[in-house]
Amino acid sequence: MRTPLLFSLALSFCQPPGQLSQDETARAQALIRAHGCWSCHTVPGMAGPAPNTGPPLTGQAEKAYVAGVAPNTLDMLTAFILDPQAIDPRSAMPDLGLSGDEAQLIARYLLAHGGT
């Protein structure tokens, strides 16, 4: 629990959250595909159906809260993707078994994509 959080914290100091390289964007989209995020969420920058099981992830950077319960920061979004029930025990979002850096890459991808 502690190591991935520390790791993602360390990472967040290395790179500004707004910028993703082409390679990072491709890796983030591959993770989103592989873990099925877009079977529940509308994901920005990725064409596909617009499922409405979970909220759309478009405009994520503009949102005030993560999961309606915690301030929307890179660290909080990373922590929620990594272990949703640690942030909200009642959340319907499943734990996808991601590593700390994978969760953070997805969080950075979402925060970097404003619109649809």
Partner 1 sequence: MRRWLGAFLVSTGSIAAAGAGVLLLGEFYNLSAVRQHPAWVYGAIALGRDAVIALDSSGIDLPDGFTPIATPQNAAMFQDNCARCHGAPGLPPEDFALAMLPVPTNPVDMAMNRSPEQIYRFVSEGLKMSGMPAWQQRMTEDEMWDVTALVEALPDLSPAEYQALLASAPQPRPEPAAPTSLDADPDRAPLLMQQYACRSCHIIPGLVGRKVHVGPSLERAGSRRYIAGVLPNTPENMIRWIMDPQKVDPLSAMPNLDVSRDVAADMAAYLFRLSPPELHERDEAP
Q: At what angle do helices 74-82 and 2-14 cross, to 10 degrees?
A: 140
Residue pair 28/111 in contact by the 8 Å Cβ criterion:
no
Tokens standing for residue 71: 């301030």
Is 11 or 96 the residue whose CB approaches partner 1 more closely? 96
Rounded least distance, CB 58 to partner 1, Å: 10
Rounded least distance, CB 12 to partner 1, Å: 22
DSSP state of 65: E
Is 16 or 59 the residue whose CB approaches partner 1 more closely? 59
Which of 108, 103, 101, 102 is CA-nearest to residue 86?
103
Rounded least distance, CB 63 to partner 1, Å: 5
Is 27 or 51 the residue whose CB approaches partner 1 more closely? 51
DSSP state of 108: H
Is 15 or 53 the residue whose CB approaches partner 1 more closely? 53
Rounded least distance, CB 30 to partner 1, Å: 25
